Amino acid sequence: MSGSAGKRETAAVAAGVIAAALCGPSHAQLRAKADVIQAERTWVAALEQRDAASLERLLAADFIDTDWRGRLHAKAEVLQGLAERPRRKIELSALAVSLYGDIAIVRGRSVTRPIADGPSTRVRFTDVFAWRAGAWRAVSAQETLEGT
């Protein structure tokens, strides 16, 4: 291959790599984000249904939740309190996922409504997931009441 043809080929490859990088997230990144959102929805379903087995699988052993009052709750405490948790419907919105290798951060809003009468609660949250043992596991959660 002549010098000029080699330079053109190298330039074409470089342009392709740059174009691919500028086109947005890869299929793998989109799939990972979808999997993280599914993990988030599984978490909500486990809370709504008081499904300790699903929650046990989803929360990492070192999981810590910082609730809206600033109190810390380890995985064991979260699981222990699940049965006494009031029955409520949780709606998620404004979900945004950021990926950092094997770490995913989910930011969003939730509105929690009682099954019976009562006030709803609006929360902004940040959840952190880590890819462990072939699945996304929640390692941290933080909730803040909206309007506070």
pLDDT, position 8: 65
Residue 64: other Cβ atoms inside 10 A: 18
Model pTM score: 0.80
Q: Which CATH number fits domain 27-145: 3.40.470.10, 3.55.40.10, 3.10.450.50, 3.40.50.2300?
A: 3.10.450.50
- The 8-class DSSP code of residue 86 comes to P
Question: Looking at residue 10, what is its pLDDT?
Answer: 64
Instruction: Please name the residue that has the structure tokens 């379903």.
Output: 45
DSSP reduced 3-state for 116: coil
Specify the pLDDT at position 98. 97
pLDDT of residue 15: 53
User: Considering the chain, what is the average pLDDT of its residues?
Assistant: 88
Q: Which residue has the higher pLDDT, 65 or 15?
A: 65
For the chain, the first-to-last Cα distance in angstroms comes to 67
Residue-wise pLDDT tens digits, 109-134 = 999 998 877 889 999 999 999 999 99
**Residues 58 and 129: beta-carbon distance below 8 Å:** no
- Backbone dihedral angles phi then psi of residue 25, each to the nearest 5 degrees: -65, 150
The residue among 84, 95, 78 whose CA lies nearest residue 140 is 78
Question: Looking at residues 17-41, what average pLDDT do you find?
Answer: 77
